[in-house]
Chains A and B, each alone.
Chain A
């Protein structure tokens, strides 16, 4: 009994430690002080000035860029990755293994190598870096995760369903659309959401591919800010809001995953 209690205490102490910094950000988003850690009374002023577009134009701009890049990259990588997963699933064992390896390279490499290698690619091709290059880079490291979320759905699928559709007179395209698509859709949605979150979170790859045309995302904005020695106070409410949105998104994904497991 004592052991059980101690175990639970350990888990919760660890969790509290993990959440302490985030809690500090959220708590101090409700005060006006310039420096994180100074409490000058409860206030919603930071939230107001965040919503007030004129005041923090560049921060909101960076935020909009981040969301735009994430949406485009996640959509393209979901399409590319799902098509690729169907292809990979139908490959022979050896080529499937090879494709699987290629697919894991961006995951293993780590951000900085992916970032530098793409930087060198764009430089050698003489491409000016900006919005397009960031999107391409994000597609590069998002697609593997989409492939990894769609492939298991294909493996779980009853292979006879597709054949049955063909026997009943469906063209391969119809069979794909009416039989395979519904089966892999949950995987595609998880892949899309996963791609969205890692794209928003990315920092290292973006820094190397964003160029010097003045384009900014949240990560590069925060990076520039931190190097100057402090956070723009409005980042606190923004981070708090993002955290809540992601929390809700993850709960939805988890519900979905939970339901699938029950079926």
Chain B
């Protein structure tokens, strides 16, 4: 009894419920993906699921095409979002800047499907054709807030005396940007890329809606296979995506910022 009491008094052990929960609902399920990916219907060990992926031109094409779309979306988000973040971080009035940042984030909280259907309506309204252009526009529209916010955060925390020092030492404004500001804002750009690139590949249903079922992305391929009870193949495709996530998150060296900034949007 006394032992039990000291156990609860030590606040370290308060981690335990969450640890147990995470093992059951995060770690074991991930291991299950691995198990399913390397077995067949009967439960025998096999590499056939991966063989099927590499032999299957359609799935392979979707995968490569999705990466291409995701790269274009990410580049678009950086090109449009970086200037916005830069302007916001230079605003003299902090309250005004904060309100604008909130306005940029707000559309994220409207259901992604509703937003996508509204984008389709917008294209209809201006009599623009749906297709690849609509797809990239829709994806940039859906994910640009995720790019602006982290870049704004790092730019705002940046020590402006570096910029002044560079100017004093004779750098022109182009050089100041490329040699000082941009490298210093890299952590923000990297976490922005993380938050745009992966979701673009993995969303399903969005691409179909924006292209009238003409284009599908990798997320849809996975979902279709799981839906058709091809769990092992679906798990193998998920594992390929997990691998991609792991590779991209290796670039994310900014591991402290997540806990420092107090969780996401606020």
A: residues with CB less than 8 A from B are 7-8, 10-11, 14-15, 17-22, 24-25, 28, 36-37, 80-81, 83-84, 86-91, 95, 99-100, 102-106, 108-113, 116-121, 123-124, 136-137, 139-140, 143, 145, 147-149, 151-152, 172, 176, 187, 190-191, 194, 197, 200-201, 203-204, 207-208, 218-219, 222-223, 226-227, 231, 235, 239, 242-243, 246-247, 250-251, 253-254, 257-258
- Nearest chain-B residue to A99 (Cβ)? B15
Across-interface contacts of A112 in B (CB, < 8 A): 202-204, 219, 222-223, 238, 241
Q: How far is the CB of A232 from chain B (nearest CB, A)?
A: 11
B21 at the interface (CB under 8 A from A): yes
Distance, CA A18 to CA B245, complexed state (A): 27
- Nearest chain-B residue to A79 (Cβ)? B17
Across-interface contacts of A149 in B (CB, < 8 A): 262-264, 266
Contacts known (A86-B14, A105-B30); A37 close to B111, Cβ less than 8 A: no
List 9 contacting pairs A-B, 8 Å CB cutoff, sorted by A.
Answer: A36-B121, A36-B124, A140-B25, A190-B262, A226-B209, A235-B114, A239-B111, A246-B106, A258-B95
Q: How far is the CB of A219 from chain B (nearest CB, A)?
A: 6
Across-interface contacts of B55 in A (CB, < 8 A): none
The 8 A CB mask of B71-85 against A (1 = contact, 0 = none) is 000000000100110
B60 at the interface (CB under 8 A from A): no
- Nearest chain-B residue to A107 (Cβ)? B258
- Nearest chain-A residue to B114 (Cβ)? A239
Q: Are B113's CB and A99's CB within 8 A?
A: no
Interface hits, B165-202 → A, CB 8 Å = 194, 198-199, 202
Distance, CA A232 to CA B12, complexed state (A): 51
Contact of A110 among B24, B145, B245 (CB under 8 A): B245
Tell which of B45-53, B96-104, B153-161 binds the partner. B96-104
B260 at the interface (CB under 8 A from A): yes
